[in-house]
Structure 1
Amino acid sequence: MIIKDCNIIFTDKIEKGSILIEDGKIKEINPRIEESSHIIDGSSLYLSPGFIDVHIHGAGGHDTMDGTFESLNEIAKVISTHGTTSFLPTTMTCSIEDIKKSVEAIAYAKKNGTEGANVIGAHLEGPFISPEMIGAQNPNYIQKPSVNTFKEIVNDNIDAITSVTLAPELDGAKELISYLKENNITPSMGHTKAKYTEAIEGIKCGVCHATHLFNAMTPFHHREPGVVGAIFDTDITTETISDGIHINYASLRTAYKVKGTDKVLLVTDAMMACCMPDGNYSLGGQDVIVENGAARLKNGALAGSVLTLDAAVKNVYNNTNYPLNEVINMASLNGAKLCRVDHRKGMIKEGYDADLVLFDKNINVKYTIVNGKVVYSA
C-alpha cells in the first residue's frame, strides 16, 4: 500500500511526501510509486502516527470492567474510528475478582489482537488509592497498597500490566512502587491526597508519571505546592484530559508551559458513553449521567469523559500556539514512551509499525490504519 502526496507529520516537522507500507510496517518514505500498488491519495490530508491512549475505560457502550474480550474488541473498533491505534484498557477500583477477570481479558486481547486498535497492556487505576480523593471510583473496594494484593490481582499476567495508578502517601505504597519499577511497570500517582513532600518521596521511590493532572490530586498552593507542585517541580510525565471540562484551557496552557510538550500525554479517560448519545450509563458499577458532553455521578463528580483523542488533539491545537507536530507527539510518541514501545510505535519512521491516521486540515479522521491494514475509512 502507498499513501501518496500527503503532509507527513514527523516528530519535529511536517513535510509533503509519500510512504510505502509492507507487511504491517512502514517500508519506505518517499518510495518510487508503482501504479500497480494499492494507492491512497493523501493530497490535502495529513498523515500522523496513530494515537495512543494510555487511560481509557470504555467506549461504544462497552467497559473494560465487563471483563470480556468481546467488550475490549468493540472498544478497539470504536476508538479506531477516531484515530486511536493503540490503547491501555483501564480498570477501576472494583472487587479483586472483577479486576482479575478484566486483566485476564486484557492479556488475551494483547496476545491475540483485535479488529481495531492494538491492546498494548493494562492500566490499573486503583484499587490502591486515597479514600479522600475518590473521584468517580467506588470507595467500597479500596485496598491498602500491597505487593501481595497486586500479585493476587495480576496472577500470571504481570507482563500485561503497563501502568498502575496509586496514592504514594498510603502505608505500603513505597514497597509497591519499588516492586512495580523492578518489573518495568509504570507507577503513576493519582487519586491522591499527598502533600508536596509525600509526592516527592513517591517520585524518589520510582513514581514517574501522574494520572489526569489537576484532577483527584492536591492542588497547587504557594505555601503547600501539593501533588501538582511536585509534578511541576520534577521531570516526571503527566497526562491531561483536554476536553475543556476537566481542565480550563488557561490551566492547560500553563501546565504545558511548565512541563513542556514532551512531558505531557493526551488521554481521554473515556467511559462507555464515549461515541454514544447522552443518557444513563455506568462506570465501575456506579450510575453515570451524561449531559452536554460531561459524564457525572449523581453527586456531581466527574466520571471519566466522552472524549476521543482526535477531539483532544483538535482542542489543544485550537486553544494553544503549539505547532501541529508537537500536539501530535503528545497524542502518540509520548504515550509510546510510557508503554515502552517507542522503538516501534509513536512516529513515522522506516521500520516502524504502520499504525497511522489520515485526517484533513480540521482534524477530521479519514482513514485509520493498524498494523498496515485499513480498519476505518470515512
Structure 2
Amino acid sequence: MLITNCQIIFKDKIEKGAVRIEDGKITAINPEIQKDEEVVDAKGMYLSPGFIDIHIHGAAGYDTMDGTNEAINSIAKAIAKHGTTSFLPTTMTMSVAEINQTLKVIAQLMKEGAKGVNVLGAHLEGPFISPKAIGAQNPKHLISPSIEAYDEMVKGCEEAVISMTLAPEVEGAEALIRYLRDKGVMCSAGHTKATYEEMMAAISWGVTHGTHLYNGMSAFTHREPGVVGAIFDSEITTETISDGIHSDYAALRIAYKQKGTDKVMLISDAMMACCMPDGKYALGGQDVFVTNNAARLENGALAGSVLTLDKAIHNVHTNCKLPLYEVVKMATYNPAKFCSVEDHKGLIAEGYDADLVLFDENIKVSKVWIKGKQLN
C-alpha cells in the first residue's frame, strides 16, 4: 500500500511525499507507484507517526486498575481513534494484590496486543509516594518504599514494568531507586514534596524523569527551587498534561523553552471519563466528577484528565508557538525513546513499524494504521 499526497512529519521537518507500507512496516519513502499497488490519497493532510502515551489510567468508562483484558482492550480501542497507537497502561495507589493482578493482564497484552494497539508495558504510579502530595491517589494504600514491597507487587510480571513514579524524599526511596535503576526501570519523581537538594540527590541515585510537570510536586520559587527547579536545572526528561487546566499555557511555554522539546513528552493522564460525557466516575477507588473537561475529586483536587493526545498536540501547537513537527515529536519519538522502542517506533522511516496517523490542519484524525492495518 502507498499513502500519497501527504505532508510527512519527520522528527525535524515536514515534507510532502509518499510512504509505502508492506507487511506492517514502512518500506520506502517517496517511491514510484507500482503497477496494481493499492494507493491511498491523503489529500494533502499530515501523516504522523502513531502517538505514544506513557501515562494514561483509563478511557471509555474503564480503568487500568479494573485489572481485566476487557478494560485495557476498551481503553486501547477508544484512544486509538484519537491516534494513540502505543501506550503504557498506568496503575494507581491501590493494594499490592490489585496492582499485581493488573500487571499480569498488562504482561499478557504486551505479548498478544490489545485490540491491535501496542501495549508497551506498564507505568506504576504509586504506592511509594508522599502523603503530602497525594493528589487524586488513595491515601489508604500508601506504602513506604522498599525492595521487598516492589518485588511482591511485580511478582510474576516484572518484565512488564517500564517506569515507576515515586517520591524520592520518602524514607526507603534511595535503595529502591538504585535497585530499579539497575533493573532498567525508569524512575520518575512525582507526588513529591522533595526540596531542590533532595531531588538533585535522587537524580544522582537514578531518577531520570519527572511525572506530570508542575502537578503533584514542590513548586519553583526564587529561594526554594523545588522539584520543578531541579527538573529545569538537570538533564532529566519530563512530561506535561497539556489541557490548559493542569498548567497555564505560559507555564508550558516556559517549560518547553527551558527543557527543549527533546526532553519533554506529551501525556494524557486520562482517566475513565476520557471519550465519555460529563458525569460521575471513579479513579483509584475514589469518586471523580467531570464538568467542562475537568476531572476532580469531591474536595476539588484534579483527578487525571479527559485529554487525548490529538487534542494535546492541537493545544500545544495552537498555544505554545512551536513548529508542528516539534510538537508531534513530543508525542511520538520522545516517548518511544522513553520506552526503549525508538529503533522501530516513533518515526516515519524505512524499517519502522507502520503505526501512522493521518490528520488535518486542526489535528482532527482522519485515518489510523497500526502495524499497517487501518482501524475501522
**TM-score after normalising by structure 1:** 0.98
2:286 counterpart of 1:286: yes
Contact kept? 1:78, 1:116, Cα under 8 Å: no
With 30-39 and 219-228 compared, the bigger mean Cα shift is at: 30-39
Which residue pairs with 1:136 in the alignment? Answer: 136
Consecutive unaligned residues in structure 1, runs of 5 or more: none
Q: Please give the root-mean-square deviation of Cα atoms over the aligned residues, in Å.
A: 0.7
Which residue pairs with 2:190 in the alignment? Answer: 190
Distance 1:177 1:156 in 2: 20
Which residue pairs with 1:258 in the alignment? Answer: 258
Residue identity matched to 1:375 = L
Q: Deviations over 1:60-105 (max 9, x none)?
A: 0010000011111111110000000000000000011111111011
Give the length in aligned residue pairs.
376
Which residue pairs with 1:199 in the alignment? Answer: 199
Structure 2 residue matching 1:78: 3-state secondary structure: helix
Distance 1:336 1:247 in 2: 24
1:321 Cα deviation from its structure 2 partner: 1.3
Which residue pairs with 2:58 in the alignment? Answer: 58
Distance 2:198 2:49 in 1: 37
Distance 1:115 1:32 in 2: 33
Which residue pairs with 1:100 in the alignment? Answer: 100
1:320 Cα deviation from its structure 2 partner: 1.4
2:124 counterpart of 1:124: yes
1:34 Cα deviation from its structure 2 partner: 2.2
Which residue pairs with 2:109 in the alignment? Answer: 109
Q: Deviations over 1:206-243 (max 9, x none)?
A: 00000000001000011110000000000100000000
Which residue pairs with 1:301 in the alignment? Answer: 301
Distance 1:39 1:295 in 2: 42
Which residue pairs with 1:312 in the alignment? Answer: 312
Distance 1:251 1:343 in 2: 32
Equivalent residues in 2 for 1:1-378, closer than 5 Å: 1-376=1-376
Distance 1:357 1:165 in 2: 29
1:35 Cα deviation from its structure 2 partner: 4.6
1:304 Cα deviation from its structure 2 partner: 0.1
Distance 2:35 2:63 in 1: 44
Distance 2:301 2:83 in 1: 28
Contact kept? 1:165, 1:190, Cα under 8 Å: yes
Residue identity matched to 1:44 = G
1:172 Cα deviation from its structure 2 partner: 1.0
1:116 Cα deviation from its structure 2 partner: 3.9
Structure 1 residue matching 2:374: 3-state secondary structure: strand
Residue identity matched to 1:265 = M
1:183 Cα deviation from its structure 2 partner: 1.1
1:43 Cα deviation from its structure 2 partner: 2.1
Residue identity matched to 1:199 = M
Distance 2:323 2:314 in 1: 12
1:158 Cα deviation from its structure 2 partner: 1.1
Consecutive unaligned residues in structure 2, runs of 5 or more: none
Q: Deviations over 1:129-173 (max 9, x none)?
A: 000000000000001111111110111211110000000001111
Structure 1 residue matching 2:262: 3-state secondary structure: helix
1:196 Cα deviation from its structure 2 partner: 0.5
**Structure 1 outlier segments of 4+, above 2 Å:** none
Pair 1:31–1:210, CA change in 2 (3 A)? same
Q: Deviations over 1:335-378 (max 9, x none)?
A: 001101001111101000111100011110001111111124xx
Q: Percent identity?
A: 61
Residue identity matched to 2:2 = I
Contact kept? 1:266, 1:330, Cα under 8 Å: yes
Structure 1 residue matching 2:170: 3-state secondary structure: coil
